[in-house]
Amino acid sequence: MLTDLYAALRTRQQDGLYRSRPVLEGPQSPHVTIDGKNYLAFCSNDYLGLANHPALIAAVSEGARRYGVGAGASHLISGHSRAHHELETGLAQFSGFPRALLFSTGYMANLAAVTALIGRGDIVFADRLNHASLNDAALLSRAQFVRYPHLDLDALARQLAKFPARRRLVMTDAVFSMDGDRAPIADLLALCQRFDAWLLLDDAHGFGVLGDQGRGSLFLSNVHGQQYPQLIYMATLGKAAGVSGAFVAGQSAVIETLVQHGRSYGYTTATPPLLAHALLTSLQLIAQQTWRRAQLERLIERLQHGLQALPWPLMASETPIQPLLVGESQEAVRLSMALREQGIWVPAIRPPTVPLGQARLRITLSTAHSETDVDQLVRALHDLADIS
């Protein structure tokens, strides 16, 4: 078996698909030290620059003094602290739903949401470019799994008409993590109402960034969760919110079902309460400091303008995720390494994360970046284009 494993690893390396774990020294920032070398980084999901915010550091310290470090047990035993409870209340109000449930990770939140609500005899319909956690959840649910072409609602409508079932769930990223484009939420909701289906929305990359006060993709689409009983909303708290964890929001019956039947909720130790305490401060910063999103918009526009003339097209995205489509995996890795030699860290994203032939540089912007940072990246890419 070891011989087979080594052979498979060598093949992966030869195909330009081998991954390694760079070691970050210090906090998230546009200027970081990785493996002992200083870089200008465009690779973090810390979109609002909150991961090292002094107010959150102070809140973590206060939370540790009040609640200790570890939760000590699952939420259903004795690990559900006052901090968790207050955060869930705050998240429900912030996202516009009757109730919210806190999870340790977005992966665990999606696993619970799908497997607790859907099972044998049911059908899951999924956008082909959904996050891996949604796909894995569908497979674990043992429901029939049907995928539709990316953002093709006509194809989805035909599938919904073709496949009746006891329960039907449509699930989609709100902002697609590798493309940066957005799902048409209002149209999806109308389709789900027409065919009596549930809609699970994964807003990992929209929460905190999009919509009024950063309340997420729903508010950008003028959708209010309480008006749509078939809507289930998931968002993560380790990206724009700057801390860790995730939550699912929805109707009371949905959330209570996840409490009772969500295996990745009930069978794991609760997240440290000090993190929940810090996230209450994070929600306040997201809502009040609107300049952070305004700064992001300016940086996105500046980057897009600067990269217009490159041989590698910038994919259509209005979000901090700005993918530069390269094509072949080896070429994407070459460009990433060439930038690294200039002290700029931009990751190469390759299959199976993205489709074959669509390897890319995934540029992510943060409020903490400056215009000078963006200009440095633009110049470096133009230099590489001139010598390619």
Q: Is 177 annotated as a binding residue?
A: yes
Per the domain annotation, does 4 fall within a domain?
A: no
Q: Is the pLDDT of residue 341 over 80?
A: yes
Per the CB < 8 A criterion, the answer to whether 179 and 323 are in contact is yes
Same domain, 192 and 141: yes
Same domain, 76 and 197: yes
Q: Is 264 annotated as a binding residue?
A: no
Cα dihedral 9, 11, 16, 22 in deg (nearest 10): 10
Same domain, 339 and 241: no
Per the domain annotation, does 12 fall within a domain?
A: no
Give the pLDDT band of residue 14 (cuts 50, 70, 90). confident
Same domain, 282 and 296: no
Per the domain annotation, does 305 fall within a domain?
A: yes
Per the domain annotation, does 7 fall within a domain?
A: no
Q: Is 106 annotated as a binding residue?
A: yes
Q: Is 214 annotated as a binding residue?
A: no
Give residue 278's pLDDT: 98
Same domain, 246 and 306: no
Q: Is 19 annotated as a binding residue?
A: yes
In angstroms, rounded to a whole number, what is the distance separating the alpha carbons of residues 147 and 285? 38
Question: Where residue 154 sits, what CATH number does that domain have?
Answer: 3.40.640.10
Q: Which of 17-21, 125-129, 174-178, 207-211 has the lowest mean pLDDT?
A: 17-21
- Residue with token string 């526009």: 301
Count of CA atoms in the C-beta half-sphere (13 A) of 209:
31
Same domain, 105 and 194: yes
Per the domain annotation, does 117 fall within a domain?
A: yes
Same domain, 140 and 207: yes
pLDDT tens readout for residues 86-98: 999 999 999 999 9
Q: Is the pLDDT of residue 388 over 70?
A: no
Of the three residues 269, 288, 307, the one that is the final residue of a domain is: 288
Per the domain annotation, does 326 fall within a domain?
A: yes
Of the three residues 288, 308, 342, the one that is the final residue of a domain is: 288
User: What are the DSSP E strand ranges found in 20-71?
Assistant: 24-25, 31-34, 37-41
Same domain, 242 and 314: no
pLDDT tens readout for residues 311-337: 999 999 999 999 999 999 899 999 999
Phi-psi region of 23 (alpha: psi -120 to 50; beta: other; left: phi over 0): beta
Same domain, 32 and 115: no
Task: Choose between 234 and 353: higher pLDDT.
Answer: 234
Q: Is the pLDDT of residue 191 over 80?
A: yes
Give residue 28's pLDDT: 94
Per the domain annotation, does 5 fall within a domain?
A: no
The number of domains in the chain is 2
Residue 141: domain span: 54-288
Q: Is 367 annotated as a binding residue?
A: no
Instruction: Walk across the sheet containing 231-236 and list its strands.
Output: 99-103, 246-250, 231-236, 198-202, 168-173, 123-127, 144-148
Q: Is 236 annotated as a binding residue?
A: yes
Give residue 387's pLDDT: 77
Query: Which residue from 165, 217, 115 is spatially nearest to 146, judged by alpha carbons?
Result: 165
Per the domain annotation, does 349 fall within a domain?
A: yes
Same domain, 43 and 62: no
Of the three residues 259, 288, 317, the one that is the final residue of a domain is: 288
Same domain, 105 and 226: yes
Give the pLDDT band of residue 298 (cuts 50, 70, 90). very high
Same domain, 26 and 88: no
